């Protein structure tokens, strides 16, 4: 009971501090990758994607959702234990990412990863893409667990959105 209440409070708090204008699709300047397994293929594919779409390297941020190994050392780890009983996030780096309002959020996680579902709901991105059809995702791409197929299809969609 307390766990679900603190998650409810965190959603309410984070939605209040996040940028509101997520309706217009501008140039993509930053990308946030949510992942839950140490798949090096996804990192290589995302590096290729940011080059094709024109996102600068410093605009690429990574959040590891749940427990397990990280892909890169600088990746931020998010677990529900990072939420205090009053709904505040204990991780300032994660708060900064949420408040910056990334242009593109890519969720490359398992379908029912609760941390990823939570973050996709509270982060106001212009475009949210994932591997499975879910209510918080604008684009869902079934890739057969092959990151290169996912990023190839996503690149096509992003170029269409940018008007290229």
**Three-class secondary structure of residue 128 per DSSP:** strand
Q: How far is the C-alpha of 142 from the C-alpha of 22, rounded, in Å? A: 25
For 128-146, how does the pLDDT look when each residue is reduced to its tens digit (9 = 90+)?
A: 888 887 777 777 888 777 8
* Domains, in order of start, for the chain: 2-18+27-162 (3.40.50)
- Given this model, what pLDDT does residue 2 score? 58
Higher pLDDT, 113 or 19: 113
For 44-64, how does the pLDDT look when each residue is reduced to its tens digit (9 = 90+)?
A: 888 888 888 888 888 888 888
Burial class (CB in 10 A: 0-12, 13-18, 19+), 42: buried
Q: How far is the C-alpha of 123 from the C-alpha of 66, rounded, in Å? A: 17
For 14-46, how does the pLDDT look when each residue is reduced to its tens digit (9 = 90+)?
A: 666 555 554 454 577 888 888 887 776 788 888
């Amino acid at each position: 009971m307390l766990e679900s209440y603190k998650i409810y409070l965190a959603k309410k708090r984070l939605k209040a501090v996040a940028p509101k204008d997520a309706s217009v699709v501008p140039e993509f300047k930053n990308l946030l990758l949510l992942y839950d397994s140490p798949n090096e293929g996804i990192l290589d594919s995302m590096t290729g994607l940011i080059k094709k779409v024109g996102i600068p390297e410093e605009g690429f941020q990574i959040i590891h959702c749940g427990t397990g190994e990280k892909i890169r050392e600088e990746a931020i780890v998010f677990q529900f234990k990072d939420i205090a009983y009053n709904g505040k996030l204990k991780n300032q780096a994660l708060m900064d990412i949420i408040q910056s309002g990334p242009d593109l959020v890519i969720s490359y996680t398992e379908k029912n990863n609760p941390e990823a579902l939570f973050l996709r709901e509270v982060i106001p991105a212009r475009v949210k893409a994932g591997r499975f059809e879910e209510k918080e995702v604008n684009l869902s791409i079934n890739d057969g667990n092959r990151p290169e197929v996912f990023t190839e299809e996503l690149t096509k969609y992003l170029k269409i959105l940018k008007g290229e």
